[in-house]
Structure 1
């Protein structure tokens, strides 16, 4: 149990840990302790963990579309100085401007609007 707590010391911030971090930690420790025991020590419900795993195995339509938009934006951003023109790319992506701007922020390629970068 001490080994699990030492491995999970990064979670001691008072906030809920990132699902990807928890999944990685559980995968590392599952051979020695078992999934349920690790989750019990981390105070994470096993249903939550299994829901995360199911979501990774079969992402929703929205998540698949967001990944496609993000990959398109990352292809566009480097030639344009690391920024995107979200309004222009809205037409090529086939979704609304806010969604393209959100994907650009997630890809660290902020939207350039009216010739300036957002603060």
Structure 2
């Protein structure tokens, strides 16, 4: 079974701490998705709870793995480039965009972290 966990802390725009680590099977070549859920969806006629929608916010990869936790960084880029001495793709931020709310496009404490793949399996 692949390790899944929760976001324990958002460090900055690009890095998070998750509550899973090497004792849980986290490895440097793993890739994870960070997910959030919608508010409960109700049937408009009966009021019955139908469930929630799960939204993938971003992909991350472990960069510092400890027995009980790992620091992960964004594994996605935006379409733009940063201009330094070399052309580099700009990392996609994990921080909140205040104008977007449905399905949230930012990471916060308590979001779910799920194993997606390993680097050698990843076609992207």
Whose Rg is larger? 1
Question: Higher relative contact order by CA 8 Å / sep ≥ 6: 1 or 2?
Answer: 2
Q: What TM-score does the superposition give when structure 2 sets the normalisation length?
A: 0.21
Q: What TM-score does the superposition give when structure 1 sets the normalisation length?
A: 0.22
